[in-house]
Amino acid sequence: MIQKITRKSLLYKSNVEYGNWTINHVSGCMHGCKFPCYAYMLSKRFGRTKDYNDWRKPKLVANALQILEKEIKRYGKELDLVHLCFMTDPFMYDSEKEALVPEVLDMTLKIIKRLNREGIRVTTLTKGVYPDNLLSRQLMPDNEYGITLVSLQEKFRKEFEPFSASYQKRIQYLKNLYDSGAKTWISIEPYPTPNLDPGSVNIVKLLERVSFVDKIIFGKMNYNIDVSKFKSNNNFYKTKAGEVINFCKKNNIQYHIKAGTPYSSKDTESIFQN
């Protein structure tokens, strides 16, 4: 049974260039990524998480819907697009049970439904999987569902995203959503250098696996000392970002290269503003 906490506020303006508002209705994340995870580092710095094991024991914000109700009234028309989530995973996967964490899933779906009822679009991003019946829940057709995919090598996943869903599963569930008519996207971030994942030299192979998506975000790996040990990392990221752009142009996929990565441009920051 997942632990519960309460909070005083829920919605806040995102500082990520392609998002507007965000909600993190869970503290911590079972996926325990080791890129390292920026959310974990921040939580630890501000004393919200004791250590890695504590981070991997998620705590659900039990009063999330009550706060949301008040904040929808407070922010009104300012609320146009909400991203779930930057500091946790909205479709959290329990790798031991090989299933979504039911309490997190339930709250995520209630939040999306409530926002959609107000005409507010939602984008989601996960390293878990999407539930089978997501589109039968009367959600807005303009929501956009994404997965993070930075490699196709399970060896890399086991080292850096040890408790997430397998790449194969993530892709399959996203493809199911696409086949049902949903809008889909991929976050290829943080992309590893070849000393961390030899397979990263062939980004086209990864892109071809997900060529059905509407949008792609690409970004380099930050906060990892091994990236700077890879001597020509700037050239590497230049080449890979160029390949992403070419692939997207050829396949009519919208893209954004994140700030700080070669070929990043402000012109594509509004990728999620329909």
Q: Which residues bind ligand SF4 (CB under 6 A)?
A: 29, 31-33, 37, 39-40, 88-89, 127
Min separation Cβ 215 and ligand SF4, Å: 19
**Please, which residues have CB within 8 angstroms of residue 177's CB and are 6 or more apart in sequence?**
130, 134, 135, 145, 184
d(CA 42, CA 48): 9
Within 46-161, residue ranges assigned H as helices are 52-55, 64-75, 102-117, 154-160
User: Measured from the CB of residue 127, what is the shortest distance to ligand SF4 in angstroms?
Assistant: 4
Cβ proximity to ligand SF4: between 49 and 268 the closer is 49
Q: How far is CA 192 from the centre of its chain?
A: 16
DSSP-based three-state secondary structure for 67: helix
Give me the least distance between CB of 193 and ligand SF4, in Å please: 18
Least spacing, CB of residue 46 vs ligand SF4, in Å: 15
Residue with smaller CB distance to ligand SF4, 168 or 246: 168
To ligand SF4, the closest distance from the beta carbon of 83 in angstroms equals 13
**Angstrom distances, CA of residue 143 to CA of 136, 181, 216:** 13, 11, 15
The residue (of 210 and 253) whose beta carbon lies closer to ligand SF4 is 210
Residue 256: both structure tokens together: 């954004």
Structure tokens at 179: 């086949």
Q: Considering beta carbons, is residue 121 or 157 the nearer one to ligand SF4?
A: 157
Shortest CB 158 distance to ligand SF4, Å: 14
Collapsed DSSP state (helix, strand, coil) of residue 4 = strand
Q: Give the nearer residue to ligand SF4 in terms of CB position, either 85 or 139.
A: 85
Nearest to 230 by CA among 202, 195, 260: 195
Amino acid type, 102? P
Among residues 127 and 183, whose Cβ is nearest to ligand SF4? 127
Counting every residue written for the chain, the total comes to 274
Q: Is the Cβ–Cβ distance between 99 and 92 less than 8 Å?
A: no
- Helices 102-117, 64-75: axis angle to 10 degrees equals 20
Query: Among residues 2 and 39, whose Cβ is nearest to ligand SF4?
Result: 39
Minimum CB–partner distance for residue 197 and ligand SF4 (Å): 16
Helix (H, G, I), strand (E, B) or coil at 191: strand
